Structure 1
Amino acid sequence: MCRNIRRLYNFEPSATSAEVEAAALQYVRKVSGTNKPSKANEEAFNEAVHEIAHITAHLLDSLVTTAPPKNRDEEAAKAKVRAAVRYGAAG
């Protein structure tokens, strides 16, 4: 759906509230079709971000897995390699 929303579950250390809020913001931007709402829609936009962040944090806290947590640095390195293959190395 949105490439800017990153997987937040099963990482060590766990996702921060700032990461959850950023994912919620990206989601609301995507579904609303706007990066910055008008003054008339600002309250609804911000409320949606807050509610989605809250429920996302609840979801992340409730999920259970037997898989070992992923290392953020290792996953970032893998993503960088995938991007280099997909888009070509920056030169």
Structure 2
Amino acid sequence: MCRSIKTLFNFEPPATELEIRAASLQFVRKLSGFSVPSKANEAAFAQAVEAVTATATALLAELVTTAGPRNREEEADKARARSAARFSA
């Protein structure tokens, strides 16, 4: 899957509407193969982004967990450490 789509569930503070929409846009781009759709496909592309955004928002609202919320900075630090280990070889 697309590396720029990040986990949005169980963070403090919760994912914003913009973060959910950005992930939805990346998902539709990946599925369609277009980073920018042609004029002929623009309406279908926009409709798909809105549908995925609505579905993702509903999903995040319905999910439950017993785990405590994750800290965004700690998760970003872990990702940077993984990246450094992977690419420093």
**Which TM-score band (shorter chain)?**
over 0.9
The 5 Å alignment of 1:58-69 reads: 58-69=58-69
Structure 2 unaligned regions, length at least 5: none
How many angstroms apart in 2 are the aligned matches of 1:48 and 1:63? 22
2-structure distance, mates of 1:13, 1:20: 13
Figure out how many residues of one structure are paired with residues of the other and give that number. Answer: 89
- 1:51 — aligned with what? 51
Q: 2:26 aligns to what?
A: 26
Structure 1 vs Structure 2 CA RMSD: 0.9
**TM-score, normalised to structure 1's length?**
0.95
Deviation at 1:88, TM superposition (A): 1.4
SS at match of 1:26: helix
Distance in structure 2 (CA, Å) of the matches to 1:29 and 1:88 = 30
Cα distance in 2 between the residues matched to 1:88 and 1:43: 43
- Secondary structure of the structure 1 residue equivalent to 2:30: helix
Q: 1:41 and 2:41 equivalent? A: yes
Task: Among all aligned residue pairs of Structure 1 and Structure 2, give the percentage whose two residues are the same amino acid.
Answer: 56
